[in-house]
Amino acid sequence: MSASSHQLLLLADHLKLSLLERQRAIALKLDSTKENAQIERSLRSLQEGIESLAAQDVDLDQPEDEASEVPRLRQQYDQLYAQYHGTAVPAMNMRQPNDPGLNDDFAAAQKQPARNRNVRFRDNPEEEEDAGTIANRAALFSDQERYRDEPEALDQSQLSNQQIHEYHTQVIRDQDEQLEVLGQSIGRQRMLGIQMGSEIEEQNEMLGDVESGMTRHQSLLDRAGNRLAHVARKSKANWSWITIAILICILILVIVITK
């Protein structure tokens, strides 16, 4: 296998990992579009590399056994392209690396972490990382400058096995941190929901007290109305007797006067 075909197979592994991490982000309901530009650049680099390798094989008139990596690379490119654009489901070989040294990275990219993780904050995360990790990450991103909407990518066709490992380890770490932040947000929303539920219960209790008070006042008003009606009936009956007494008095006066 030539050095060029080896680099292209590593680039294919890099793309496989990126797509697995993209699927993982979708499954975890995280932002799955962050690496889209990087994936598209990698696909272009892989396509150009395959065409260049095929042209070299034709120019050098290499035997079939030495040129056999080109069909393999073309097949993987077609599968990766279809998987990225959603026109095909991931094939089994898209979940396995060309380089066995990346087996752990592929396993990590397909692992679904539990959501009930303890959240730990660090003022300076690099303090807990070894010098080799920091150096490898610095080497991987050494060509990057200040932030731009479309930052200039590394020459991905020249990534080493270790650089691919460090890059995707960082992607998985970032996804896990996003998941922790999402878990915190869900926890805060749950606490807010509990507080709102408690406030609603208190409001319901207050409304119940108001309703009880209104019922008591209505009962008092009903009793007062009944008493007034009773007094009115008695007054009406008494008024009839008073009228009769007045008429009798008038009649007696008339009789006395006429005599």
pLDDT at residue 244 in the model: 83
Look at residue 157 in the predicted model and tell me its pLDDT. Answer: 53
How high is the pLDDT of residue 61?
Answer: 63
pTM of the model as a whole: 0.50
At residue 159, the pLDDT reads 62
Q: For every residue of the chain, which 3-state class applies, written as one string?
A: CCHHHHHHHHHHHHHHHHHHHHHHHHHCCCCCCCCHHHHHHHHHHHHHHHHHHHHHHHHHCCCCCCCCHHHHHHHHHHHHHHHHCCCCCCCHHHHCCCCHHHHHHHHHHCCCCCCCCCCCCCCCHHHHCCHHHHHHHHHHCCCCCCCCCCCCCCCHHHCCHHHHHHHHHHHHHHHHHHHHHHHHHHHHHHHHHHHHHHHHHHHHHHHHHHHHHHHHHHHHHHHHHHHHHHHHHHHHHHHHHHHHHHHHHHHHHHHHHHC
Residue with the two structure tokens 């991931």: 90
In the chain, where the domains are located = 3-193
In the prediction, which pLDDT does 114 show? Answer: 59
pLDDT of residue 172: 78
Q: What is the pLDDT of residue 106?
A: 82
Tell me the two tokens of residue 13. Answer: 């592994």
What pLDDT does residue 134 have? 46
Query: Can you say whether the dihedral through the CA atoms of 246, 252, 256, 259 is positive or negative?
Result: positive
Q: Are 77 and 9 in contact (CB under 8 A)?
A: no
Which residue is it, tokens 């008493």? 227
pLDDT tens per residue across span 174-184: 877 887 887 88
State residue 85's pLDDT score: 87
Question: In the 3-class helix/strand/coil scheme, how is 200-243 assigned residue by residue?
Answer: HHHHHHHHHHHHHHHHHHHHHHHHHHHHHHHHHHHHHHHHHHHH
Q: Per residue in 45-92, pLDDT tens?
A: 888 888 888 887 776 666 544 456 888 888 888 988 888 888 777 777
- Phi-psi bin for 90: left (phi > 0), alpha (psi -120 to 50), beta? beta
Low-confidence ranges of the chain (pLDDT < 70): 1-3, 59-68, 112-161
